[in-house]
Amino acid sequence: MKLGITTLRVAVGGTFIAHGVQKLFGWFGGPGLEGMGQGLEQMGLKPGKRHALIAGAAETGGGALLATGFLTPLGAAAVMSVMHQAVRMVHWDKGFFSADGGYEFNLALSAAALALADTGPGPWSVDRALGTEKSGPLWALAALGAAFAGPRLLAQVAAAAPEPEPQQERFVREPETAPAPAPATSA
């Protein structure tokens, strides 16, 4: 069990880290915050850049928590919330299979995160080393509930917050130069 749980944790957590840094920094061929923000705006999630930052941070941070086995139910809740939102906004209407753009991959990752919240991170984990391991069906269900509630709560907060004003172009003033001294004349 030590090797199996550790392998699952690192694989699932690492997958989410990779997806998160695609959104945050544009690494691994990702769109970065600007591109992801524009895509989310087109889906009706406004302001898009703020939503991209939240999704990228949840995937990166939640993935890191899962991969290390630290605060495992919190990590599971973070990544499942992004998967829930992705299924709801993008994949549900396309059916089950990911080849058709469906939710198959999102479901598998969410199920793995839920299983880790239930079974716990295993003996080779930060939670176990610190004696802070929390697991079992109640922790898993709490993580699942937070995953479903999180995007709705964030949507309400985003709706209540004023949209940031577009940044105006800043003109850089050329430094003033002193007039060149008149050439010296010899008398």
**pLDDT per position as a tens digit, 45-87:** 888 899 999 999 999 999 999 999 999 999 999 999 999 999 9
Q: Residue 184 above 70 pLDDT? A: no
Residue 126: name the closest of 187, 71, 185, 89 by CA.
Answer: 71
Q: Residue 118: which pLDDT band, with cuts at 50, 70 and 90? A: very high
For residue 147, is it within any domain?
A: yes
For residue 24, is it within any domain?
A: yes
pLDDT of residue 46: 84
Contact assessment for residue 17 and residue 23, using Cβ atoms and an 8 Å cutoff: no
Average pLDDT of span 98-119: 96
The residue type of 140 is: A
How does DSSP classify residue 163? P
For residue 118, is it within any domain?
A: yes
Contact assessment for residue 66 and residue 13, using Cβ atoms and an 8 Å cutoff: yes
pLDDT of residue 47: 86
How does DSSP classify residue 69? T
How does DSSP classify residue 123? S
pTM for this predicted structure: 0.82
% of the chain at pLDDT higher than 90:
74
Q: Residue 187 above 80 pLDDT? A: no
Please count the structural domains in the chain: 1
Q: Residue 172 above 60 pLDDT? A: no
**pLDDT per position as a tens digit, 148-164:** 998 888 777 767 776 66
For residue 175, is it within any domain?
A: no
Cα-only R_g, the chain: 24
Q: Residue 168: which pLDDT band, with cuts at 50, 70 and 90? A: low
Range of the domain at 38: 2-160
For residue 67, is it within any domain?
A: yes
User: Is omega for the bond preceding 47 within 30 degrees of 0, making it cis?
Assistant: yes
pLDDT of residue 163: 63
DSSP H or E run through 3: helix 2-25
User: CB 18: neighbour CB atoms within 10 A?
Assistant: 15
For residue 153, is it within any domain?
A: yes
For residue 173, is it within any domain?
A: no
pLDDT of residue 65: 98
Average pLDDT of span 4-26: 97
pLDDT of residue 178: 61
